[in-house]
Amino acid sequence: MAAVACLLVAACRGGGTPFPQSTGLAAEQTLKFPILHDFGSLDPGVSDAETDTEIGQNMFDNLVKFDNNLNLIADLATTVPQPSADGLTYTFQLRHDATFSNGDKFTSRDVLYSWNRAVAMQGAYASNLSAIDGYMSASANTATGAALEALLEKKDPSVTLTGLSAPDDFTVKVRLTSPAGWFLPAIAVAGVTGSIVDQNVVKNDFDNWWTKPETAVGTGPYKMAARMPDQSVEFVAVDSWWGSPKPTVKKVHLDILGDASAAIAKYEQGAYDIYGYGGFSNAPITDILRIQGTPSEKEQLLIRPKVSTTFVSFNMIADSKRQARGPFSLDQGQSAHDLRLAFALAVDKKKLATSVCSDIACTAATGGLIPKGLTGYMGDGQDPLGKYDPAKARQLLLGADPNGAKTHGLTFTYDAGNPINKATAEFLQSQWKENLGVQVDVQSAPYTQFLRARLNGQYVMSRDGWKADYDHPEDWFDNLWGQLAGCPDSNCTSGYDTKAYDDLVARADAEPGDLAMADYKKLNQMLIDDVVYIPLFYANGSFLFKPYVRGAGTNNFFDFHWNEIQLLSH
Q: Measuring CA to CA, which residue among 114, 63, 128 is closest to residue 92?
A: 63
pTM of the model: 0.91
| Residue 123 clears pLDDT 50, i.e. is over it | yes
Average pLDDT over residues 261-279: 96
CA atoms within 13 A on the CB side of 514: 0
Q: Measuring CA to CA, which residue among 270, 229, 245, 215 is closest to residue 104?
A: 215
Report the range of poorest mean pLDDT among 28-37, 159-168, 211-220, 492-501: 492-501
Average pLDDT over residues 394-406: 97
Q: Where are the alpha helices (DSSP H) in 323-373?
A: 333-345, 349-357
pLDDT given for residue 321 in this prediction: 53
| Residue 439 clears pLDDT 80, i.e. is over it | yes
Strands 251-256 and 30-35 come out as: parallel
Strands 171-175 and 89-93 come out as: antiparallel
pLDDT given for residue 318 in this prediction: 56
pLDDT given for residue 332 in this prediction: 87
Average pLDDT over residues 151-166: 97
Residues in a beta bridge with 444:
414
Average pLDDT over residues 452-473: 91
Q: What are the E-state strand segments in 301-392?
A: 301-314, 362-364
CA-to-CA separations, 15 to 51, 169, 239, 247, 284, in angstroms, rounded: 24, 37, 25, 18, 27
pLDDT given for residue 7 in this prediction: 37
Determine whether 16 is exposed, middle or buried from the number of CB atoms within 10 Å of its CB (0-12, 13-18, 19+): exposed
| Residue 212 clears pLDDT 60, i.e. is over it | yes
Average pLDDT over residues 408-418: 93
Query: At a CB cut-off of 8 Å and minimum separation 6, what does 248 contact?
Result: 25, 29, 563, 565, 566, 567
The mean pLDDT value of the chain amounts to: 92
pLDDT given for residue 303 in this prediction: 96
Q: What value does the CA radius of gyration of the chain take, rounded to a whole number of Å?
A: 24
CA-to-CA separations, 463 to 18, 214, 329, 466, 569, in angstroms, rounded: 39, 44, 17, 11, 48
Question: Rounded distance, CA 96 to CA 76, Å?
Answer: 9
pLDDT given for residue 15 in this prediction: 36
Residue 443 C-alpha from the chain's centroid: 27
Contact 567, 26 (CB under 8 A): yes
* pLDDT band for position 20 (cuts 50, 70, 90): very low
| Residue 176 clears pLDDT 80, i.e. is over it | yes
* pLDDT band for position 562 (cuts 50, 70, 90): very high
* pLDDT band for position 490 (cuts 50, 70, 90): low
pLDDT tens track for 319-331: 545 444 689 988 8
Contact 287, 261 (CB under 8 A): yes
| Residue 21 clears pLDDT 80, i.e. is over it | no
| List of long-range contacts for 360-363, beta carbons under 8 Å, 24+ apart | 360/3, 360/285, 360/288, 360/289, 360/303, 360/540, 360/542, 361/282, 361/285, 361/420, 361/539, 361/540, 361/542, 362/310, 362/420, 362/537, 362/538, 362/539, 362/540, 363/7, 363/305, 363/537, 363/538, 363/540
Q: What is the dihedral of CA 80, 85, 88, 91, to 10 degrees?
A: -40
Contact 550, 17 (CB under 8 A): yes
Report the range of poorest mean pLDDT among 176-185, 318-327, 398-407, 431-440: 318-327
| Residue 6 clears pLDDT 50, i.e. is over it | no
CA-to-CA separations, 458 to 12, 58, 324, 345, in angstroms, rounded: 44, 42, 5, 24
| Residue 489 clears pLDDT 70, i.e. is over it | no
| C-beta atoms surrounding 477 within 10 Å | 26
pLDDT given for residue 331 in this prediction: 84
Residue 285 C-alpha from the chain's centroid: 22
* pLDDT band for position 487 (cuts 50, 70, 90): confident
CA atoms within 13 A on the CB side of 51: 15
* pLDDT band for position 14 (cuts 50, 70, 90): very low
* Residue 498 or residue 151, greater confidence: 151
pLDDT given for residue 325 in this prediction: 64
Q: Is 254 helix (H, G, I), strand (E, B) or coil?
A: strand
Average pLDDT over residues 513-525: 94
Q: Measuring CA to CA, which residue among 497, 428, 495, 496 is closest to residue 458?
A: 495
pLDDT tens track for 525-559: 999 999 999 999 999 999 999 999 999 999 999 99
Q: Give me the DSSP letters along 488-537.
A: TTSS-SS----HHHHHHHHHHHH--HHHHHHHHHHHHHHHHHTT-EEEEE
| Residue 110 clears pLDDT 60, i.e. is over it | yes
